Structure 1
């Protein structure tokens, strides 16, 4: 059963369209991440699900019930904010149980719920402290505890880790993933951090300018991005997008790249549909190759012979930068595999190559 259905939802401020016909459906227990840069509409969409923003058009349904006109308190949701939103004069215990107290939950039931949430989040020893006595990570745990005791149909997270330092972000990612596994809850989570999206989500909606560009499982978004925007947004370093000409050879295709001061390079054996072969044969396309899909090779097995421009050692691997097809390309190789100013032989995993239309920048299937 779908816990959340967003059906052709629109949001406009005067003549400015912020969300344009957004449709997303997630099932009970899904972890949906709304991913995109600032201004793409992801936080506006979350606020509309929460009832904090009005809807210009379309419907939002939670557990099959249209909630367009319901107030936030009637939507059976719990929200965790970027700013924690804790009451500074209340203890941790009082912050966690405050919502239950307002709803008239019995003291014994409140105590049981607070203890269970505190044990799960490992904050039992903090229950009598005030928020000012807590670290950022501890405050975020308290905010999560306050949401957990609600036992809502839907949890909403609005960039909850953006105020934390790098190590705490990693720790809290683990806590949120563990929480989702334990509770089996349905979560909608907003972030601009694609690592958070890949780590946490069961479904990712990549957004740009109020439009969902790609909605799928994280690995599918990474391996087969719907368009060049998604390819470049998801992944670090980003997918290389390289202009080339497509040659058709039987049931497979070759892509031919120009290389400065060298003969043209050819990568052969790329799978392509008959329809795409008829449409794009002999035409210019964009070739998407992830940095890790390059490998060092001996001369006999190499797809490419390139001149190395820059080498960036990172410890576990080395990023090698070179020019191909008029684009700057990055390969991720084992340490010490190539050096500046030297020629290098590379192979490409053709099963992982993605082709895009050069004009529309959408994926060629």
Structure 2
């Protein structure tokens, strides 16, 4: 296990700046997920940690040691690629032990390491097969086994599940989670899939255009997104962002939002400090509400909204309903058969989970 410190790291290709003073620090045994869309700089950052790409500015430290100018082989890292990168003419055993053989590890130690990795990944019965005889998930296990036997300070995963079908992705997420729990090694994992980030990470760095938008525990990123971008990127369906106006009455903070064809509604008891609320009182805000924070109300209680349902989308365990609020489409996640298209619904809001953003900067207000 090892710590990783990324200190004001920059990367430019000519005048094009890909990474803009990225700073991330994780402890030994942490599972860091770099999350973001294509082109946000997450794979570039991973390649710089691995030593596969040069750094324009800043420092990268592994176990407290600056590695900016070290070659990949001297960084004591192991990388699992999206493409598996297995030797097609070698057996699984030979693929796993190849790196150890190059480094001069004795046959006895190689056999022991291969057996340990194969048992850990439940692939002992595959050791004599070649990659062409394996499924995608089995090939990914081999790539992981090859990394495990190195016993590195740092594991790097570059979108390792993107080539797998939906069922295998779920299975392999479980395998990777189990692997981390057993080895307690430090992992940096790149993905654009927010489900992978939420299920695997101990820390998530959400990236956009070469900038870390938020670095926090997965649940904190989900519950308290730093800005509108994070709120919309993390979660499926994403957080509803509804235009509104902030009000303060005594010690109660409320947001007033428009409802299509109806009088504006007041959502009261929003968890924003009174100092911040008074600063923004009367101004246009953006109200963030997760779909699951709506529920069918038993009556017109405090923060209930009377809405007209436009669309109903049954998903099996629950139903997504779409209505207009504040001039935008809003999605609520409700139990099955509690609403129908074209009908009225009275929805209550769990105000303890409501997040308010500044309409100008789109950053969260606390």
What is the aligned partner in structure 2 of residue 179 from structure 1? Answer: 179
Are 1:119 and 2:119 counterparts? yes
Deviations 1:106-139 (A, max 9, x none): 1100000000000111111111111111110000
- Where structure 2 has 5 or more consecutive residues not aligned to the other structure, the ranges are none
State the distance in 2 between where 1:327 and 1:60 align. Answer: 43
Q: Helix, strand or coil: the match of 2:306?
A: strand
State the distance in 2 between where 1:333 and 1:43 align. Answer: 37
What is the aligned partner in structure 1 of residue 210 from structure 2? Answer: 210
Deviations 1:65-89 (A, max 9, x none): 0000000000000000000000111
- Residue 300 of structure 2 contacts residue 346 of structure 2 at CA under 8 Å; is this kept in 1? no
Q: Post-superposition shift, 1:252?
A: 2.2
State the distance in 1 between where 2:114 and 2:335 align. Answer: 49
Deviations 1:10-66 (A, max 9, x none): 000000000000000000000000000000000000000000000000000000100
What is the aligned partner in structure 2 of residue 303 from structure 1? Answer: 304
State the distance in 2 between where 1:135 and 1:214 align. Answer: 36
Q: Helix, strand or coil: the match of 2:270?
A: strand
- Residue 35 of structure 1 contacts residue 191 of structure 1 at CA under 8 Å; is this kept in 2? yes
State the distance in 2 between where 1:299 and 1:343 align. Answer: 13
Q: Post-superposition shift, 1:219?
A: 0.0
Q: Post-superposition shift, 1:279?
A: 1.2
State the distance in 1 between where 2:341 and 2:298 align. Answer: 18
Matches within 5 A, 1:33-48: 33-48=33-48
Matches within 5 A, 1:309-328: 309-328=310-329
- Residue 291 of structure 1 contacts residue 331 of structure 1 at CA under 8 Å; is this kept in 2? yes
- Residue 308 of structure 1 contacts residue 344 of structure 1 at CA under 8 Å; is this kept in 2? yes
State the distance in 2 between where 1:300 and 1:354 align. Answer: 22
What is the aligned partner in structure 1 of residue 135 from structure 2? Answer: 135
State the distance in 2 between where 1:272 and 1:200 align. Answer: 30
State the distance in 1 between where 2:125 and 2:155 align. Answer: 25
Q: Helix, strand or coil: the match of 1:129?
A: coil
Q: Helix, strand or coil: the match of 2:352?
A: helix
What is the aligned partner in structure 2 of residue 78 from structure 1? Answer: 78
State the distance in 1 between where 2:276 and 2:300 align. Answer: 30
Q: Helix, strand or coil: the match of 2:346?
A: strand
Deviations 1:191-225 (A, max 9, x none): 00000000000000000000000000000000000
What is the aligned partner in structure 1 of residue 359 from structure 2? Answer: 358
Matches within 5 A, 1:50-129: 50-129=50-129
After TM superposition, the score normalised by the length of structure 2 is: 0.99
What is the aligned partner in structure 1 of residue 262 from structure 2? Answer: 262
Q: Post-superposition shift, 1:272?
A: 1.8
State the distance in 1 between where 2:43 and 2:314 align. Answer: 36
Deviation above 6 Å: which 4+ runs of structure 1? Answer: none
What's the RMSD between the two structures over aligned residues? 0.9
State the distance in 2 between where 1:274 and 1:354 align. Answer: 14
- Residue 2 of structure 2 contacts residue 185 of structure 2 at CA under 8 Å; is this kept in 1? no
Q: Post-superposition shift, 1:274?
A: 2.7
Q: How many residues align?
A: 365
Q: Post-superposition shift, 1:2?
A: 6.2
- Residue 259 of structure 1 contacts residue 325 of structure 1 at CA under 8 Å; is this kept in 2? yes
What is the aligned partner in structure 1 of residue 334 from structure 2? Answer: 333
State the distance in 1 between where 2:167 and 2:186 align. Answer: 26
Q: Helix, strand or coil: the match of 1:299?
A: coil
Deviates more, 1:312-321 or 1:269-278: 269-278
State the distance in 1 between where 2:209 and 2:252 align. Answer: 36
State the distance in 2 between where 1:289 and 1:260 align. Answer: 17
